[in-house]
Structure 1
Amino acid sequence: MNILDAAYATVHDHHGGASALAPRLGIKSPAVLNSKVNPNTETHHLTLLEASKLMALTGDYRILQTLCAEHGKAAIDLPDIPESQRDHSLMDTFVRIAIQKGNVAQTFHDMMADGRITHGEALDMSKVIHELHVLLGTLATQVQACIEKN
């Protein structure tokens, strides 16, 4: 599935389809929304804000998941930690760590693809590992700061 198909499915699989979603998205008519998600239409397109609002309204994240898959990334649900709702920077750091872990894995995969490790590949690996260490240190500091606030 590509992101255009995912957008189409998100609208058309939702109860009430474009008729129910268009007004909630601030789109003038269901026909316009249908055009925006029609993979064969070249004149109308969903904006990023509309796609984000569409996912929030429907609870359907196929657009996000497909976009991530096309770029070799993964979208995951964040843990529901009530205490963290007060500190969005803590959650942001947690998400950045997850992304960086993926970068480490991708760099390792690329480095090992031909069965040998070059000097440049070793430097690239050191860089992404260092970036992960920095983020882990940031998280440790932020967690400690949360304890000190209480």
Structure 2
Amino acid sequence: MSKIWLSSQERAEREILPLNLALYHAARDYPGGGKAIAAVYGLPATTLQHRLNPNADTHRLTIDDLEHVLEATRDPRILDSLLSLVPGAHWFEYQESTNECSEQQLMESVAVLSTQVGNLLTRISEHRRDGTYHDHEVAELEKLRCQLIGAVQGVLVCAQRFDGEVRHG
């Protein structure tokens, strides 16, 4: 089997990226890019863009830059990257719009979970065909695993809020 070379954008969609690349892609995909993020927070646009450039060794992102990009973009790739540094840590976005969960919302959460399971199993099957897991395939499966755990968390939260039938004993 020939080696598949993913473009930067394909890799960003299929793998958990290193933090500098996650921040770069998040800012690049934000409407107006890094300049818009800089404008929101009153930062020098050129400085932030240089710091976000993954090829610029002379400029480094600060923790404040990380905070600004994450807050502005709310990009899940950044959280994926940060939590990949802590084995076993996962995140999911808790929607606080309501304290109740309808039967429809619960069914939608289960459907998302089912889709995530299907995606993971499909990709495992495809990657096993040649009998070898390549690095980019392992990275893709890791991202799908994290998404699956997030879907499980979503079902659990919705189930706990379903019709207020949570009993604490």
Structure 1 length as normaliser, TM-score?
0.48
Report which of the two structures shows the higher radius of gyration computed on alpha carbons: 1
Q: Which of the pair has the greater relative contact order for Cα pairs under 8 Å at 6+ separation? A: 2
Greater share of helix residues, 1 or 2? Answer: 1
Structure 2 length as normaliser, TM-score?
0.43
